[in-house]
Amino acid sequence: MRQLTYAEAIREAIRNEMKRDPRVFILGEDVGKFGGCFGVTQGLVDEFGEELVRDTPISEEAIAGVAVGAAATGMRPIAEIMFMDFVTVAMDQLVNQAAKMRYMFGGKISLPMVIRLPEGGGLQAAAQHSQCLEAWLTHVPGIKVVYPSTPKDALGLLISSIRDDNPVAFIEHKLLYNLKGEVPDENEPIPLGVADVKRPGSDVTIVATGLMVHKALNAAKELAKESIEAEIVDPRTLFPLDKETIFSSVKKTHRVVIVTEEVKRGGWGGELAALIAEEIFDYLDAQIVRIGSLNVPIPFTTLLENYVIPNEIDIINGVKSIL
């Protein structure tokens, strides 16, 4: 095993696939000499050249459109949208083109493209640079949505995403980029649609995504001091979703708390809650608890931002409310 940061693991996955497949290339704002806004693509332009590591104008519409066209004609683009907030500008290309073309052409083409989407608060980047918009993408048939929480998962899931023949939205929480963790010596793919139990437990299931996985793990340590053992399940891919692993955990603990950083109203967490209620309601001994950001734009000031985004205390209180 080796130690890599989350950002280094993403870079290693990109490098691995660019060496393996000449059809893979990168495009986005400042991904070349600058190395990306968060340094993820640092050094790749020196290794692979400007033909395969392409700086673009500040136009998310163009970045996504080029990626769709390149994928439809045989390439495997990795497009970076600097902040997920601005996927809004590229929604026509993603929702009406990338997600639909393979279906509308009767399967005669594939759309092997990855769109990298740094998201989340915690950097005092304010309302237009801090949103978590994964629910918008999971709502659209034809797009796979991946959200790793560790360097190991980032490496393996990005390899699988690049090799997939369908559009993949690859979400990266900005506060995870400097997180260090163990990564296998061999760059092996992790299949999409397979959840991971990050911590075993018997009293309550906490399903968490992205940065919230780590907050849930911290909360679980505190709960354990009171003899409350929480099982932490990380879906890793929001679609396709590994319902079996999540359901198996809920059937064991009979209680579930869903923790996401997205705004709670209309979030992906609500979809998961509905699935649990529809399919395994009889196994529940208490109501489903959802924890998400408050229904307000993300504030700039640290104090207010910390108030809006879920924290360990929110998770602990959510668990205790159903025990």
Residues tagged active-site: 129
* Residue 92 neighbours by CB distance under 10 Å: 12
Q: Quick one: tokens of 12?
A: 């290693």
97: alpha, beta or left, given left = phi > 0 and alpha = psi -120 to 50? alpha
Of the candidates 127, 183, 192, the residue with the CA atom closest to the CA atom of residue 159: 192
8 Å CB contact between 151 and 13 = no
- Alpha-carbon torsion angle 210, 216, 221, 222, nearest 10: 140
Instruction: Using alpha carbons, list the distances in angstroms from residue 320 to 39, 120, 204, 227, 255.
Output: 40, 26, 10, 12, 11
Q: Which residue has the tokens 């290794």?
A: 47
Q: Which residue has the tokens 């659209």?
A: 140
Alpha helical stretches, state H, the chain: 6-20, 44-48, 60-72, 91, 101-104, 134-138, 151-163, 211-224, 243-253, 268-280, 302-308, 312-320
d(CA 16, CA 2) in angstroms, rounded, equals: 16
